Amino acid sequence: MIQNQLQNQLQNQNQNPLQDQARPAAARRAGASVSFEGVIKDFAGHRALAGFDLTLHAGEFVALLGPSGSGKTTALRVLAGLESTDAGTIRIDGADVSTLPTSRRDLGMVFQSYSLFPHLSAGQNVEFGLRMRKVRGEERRARAAAALALVGLGTHYDRFAHQLSGGQQQRVALARALVTEPRVLLLDEPLSALDAQVRVALREEIRRIQTELGITTLFVTHDQDEALAVADRVAVMRAGSIEQVGAPEELYSRPVSSFIADFVGLSNRLVGVVRHGFAQVQGISLPLLDPSQADGAVSVSVRPEDLEFGAAGAPGVVLSSSFHGSLRRTRVRLDDGTSLVVQHGARLHPSVGEQVAVRFTGAPVSVDPLPAPE
């Protein structure tokens, strides 16, 4: 159903609901810049946000990524005004909104739970925020209808929640957030309750709508694939603060720490020794991102696709090989017992027990020094 709706929308792009009179005014307004400046938030002795700093440029789509308990949802809730801050400042377009109520922050919000009123139709659910703003009936209905058309549900105005799929209910929630003409859109794990196929389709639709409207968007997720697929920039949180922020390609290719390397994408965590600007791991030589790194024992993260089989590599034996469409991932145990994964084309199918040699082909890596043995 969702895919059919997406195909129909693509076929009818010349009839875009944003081009008619009732389109949400958000389509005509620039998104607002957002900044968190040293924000602190405590809950019963637990520091959920610890000097949290992040800036979203006007019209930007930023994904806030991190493990459970890292503070992602808390950051979104203090921006929304659903939680107060204990210190620091939150600004929207340069204005301090730290103490303003939610209703005065010009935000739209979509949460994991759809939170639709079961006794109201899809259209009436979308109208609800406009009704609270005393928008008159005819205009209210026209704007709600336009918002539903924008999310691909133009023919579902009179359907009730129990008549909609999970993906359709989340589209209604998105339309409800957009119809009030916000300049900032907050999305808190909006896709996690959906099955995989619908999740991929809806995240692409969210990105299309965000681009079309130019609305500044903060997208909270624990799913790295989701974050890397849709965001202009990804901010990775750890223990209440930002560990790294950058374009998806930057985080994946140039992680600033082992935490980022291990959390964003599949990675081999290896132990080696730095000598003369290279990390040596059982005969595999890795160029360093920081050539001035002091000699000594280090740990290093290496992407499976940055390794290959070749005659001049470190010797090892194949433990297993798994099929992933056009790719295979082969686990190898090096002679010293180190286990690592090599990603390669599916046409190459090493046998378990086969002797191989592994070499590094990637970009310079960052390392974490290990403490000297006592």
Q: Angle at the Cα of 233 (from 228 to 237), degrees rounded to 5?
A: 80
Residue closest to 93 by CA, chosen among 57, 51, 62, 63: 57
Residue span(s) of the chain under CATH 2.40.50.140 come to 266-369
What's residue 374's pLDDT? 61
Which CATH number does 2-253 carry? 3.40.50.300
pTM for the full model? Answer: 0.84
Going residue by residue through the chain, which has 374 residues, state the pLDDT in tens, using 9 for 90 and above.
333 433 343 334 333 343 343 444 434 467 999 999 999 999 998 999 999 999 999 999 999 999 999 999 999 999 999 999 999 999 999 999 999 999 999 999 999 888 899 999 999 999 998 998 999 989 999 999 999 999 999 999 999 989 999 999 999 999 999 999 899 999 999 998 889 899 999 999 999 999 999 999 999 999 999 999 999 999 999 999 999 999 999 999 888 888 998 899 899 999 999 998 899 998 899 999 888 999 999 999 999 999 999 988 999 999 999 999 999 999 999 999 999 999 999 999 999 999 999 999 998 888 889 987 76
Q: Torsion-angle region of residue 270: left (phi > 0), alpha (psi -120 to 50) or beta? A: beta
Phi and psi torsions of 49, nearest 5°? -125, 125
Residue span(s) of the chain under CATH 3.40.50.300 come to 2-253
3-state secondary structure of 7: helix
3-state secondary structure of 33: coil
What's residue 106's pLDDT? 93
Which CATH number does 266-369 carry? 2.40.50.140
**Residues 176 and 126: beta-carbon distance below 8 Å:** yes
**What are the DSSP E strand ranges found in 254-347?**
268-275, 278-281, 284-287, 296-302, 307-324, 327-334, 339-345
